[in-house]
Amino acid sequence: MVLQKLEMCVELMKLAVEFVVVVAEAVGIVIHQNHSPPVMTASRSFATPVPLVGFLP
């Protein structure tokens, strides 16, 4: 009984990790598609990209 619960826990963790990876990749794609070159204005404000820190490819 304990072994079955442990196996189910391992499978749930695998699914959770896969879900996080898929979401991270989707966010990276959206950021990459929406990234536009910075526009110089009189106020000197720049659009800076936000890196995804902590996600493995």
For residue 45, being part of any structural domain is answered with: no
For residue 20, being part of any structural domain is answered with: yes
Q: Determine the pLDDT at residue 40.
A: 53
For residue 22, being part of any structural domain is answered with: yes
For residue 8, being part of any structural domain is answered with: yes
Tokens representing residue 41 in the block: 């204005």
Please give the helix or strand (H or E) that residue 44 lies within, else none: none
For residue 11, being part of any structural domain is answered with: yes
For residue 53, being part of any structural domain is answered with: no
Q: Give 14-51 pLDDT, tens digit per residue.
A: 999 999 999 999 999 988 888 755 555 555 555 555 55
Print the domain residue range for 13: 1-32
For residue 21, being part of any structural domain is answered with: yes
- Amino acid present at 46: F
With bands split at pLDDT 50, 70 and 90, how would you rate the model's confidence at 13? very high
